[in-house]
Amino acid sequence: MDNQVIETIKNRRTVARYENTAVKDDELSVILEAGRWAPSWINKQPWKFIVIRDQKTKEQLGEVVPTTFVQSLKEAPVCVAVVVDTEEDPYHFIEAGAAVAQNMALAAYSLGLNTSWIGVFDAKEQKNAAEDKVKKILEVPKKHRVVALLPVGHVKGDVPKKDRKTLSQIMFKEKFGKR
């Protein structure tokens, strides 16, 4: 079956290197709109987006995230922080933030851009975790959590395709373990 949405989902990849080419404001608006339309529990929409273009801020963020993503933060012309309000939706804020990040990543890819999904959310809420440091840099209030940072830009070089597990490896019928 030929379906544009499925093809976008199948072809989107996490990108570590970006060209020094600006992301246009209208492109960024489309990406943010896609995030705004993500599903959330009883339509709570507990998210906020922080758009980061300042090089110094991106470099500060690069100092606190896993080393795999330092380059992508430095090179991407823009980064979007997906922040969720834990009081607005205390039950499903993580899923809401993840849905936002996925929508934004797919929208970016559909526009010929790419993203890196940098997960900084600290489920154990440990002191001095990457999320705490990101919150401090971005001045995120205590009741909010940072689910992801999404550097956005034009890919530099080739992006290798990676194999996926087959449906027969991950799907059961009626009950777990029943093939």
Query: Is it the case that residue 83 has pLDDT exceeding 90?
Result: yes
pLDDT at 23: 96
Query: Is it the case that residue 68 has pLDDT exceeding 80?
Result: no
Fold of the domain built from segment(s) 4-170: NADH Oxidase (3.40.109)
Comparing CA positions, the residue from 34, 117, 107, 104 lying closest to residue 68 is 117
Query: Is it the case that residue 50 has pLDDT exceeding 80?
Result: yes
pLDDT at 161: 79
Query: Is it the case that residue 99 has pLDDT exceeding 90?
Result: yes
Contact 52, 140 (CB under 8 A): no
Structure confidence by residue, pLDDT tens digits, 109-162: 999 999 999 988 887 777 778 999 999 999 999 999 999 999 999 988 877 777
pLDDT at 24: 96
Per-residue H/E/C for 143-176: CEEEEEEEEEECECCCCCCCCCCCHHHHCCCCCC
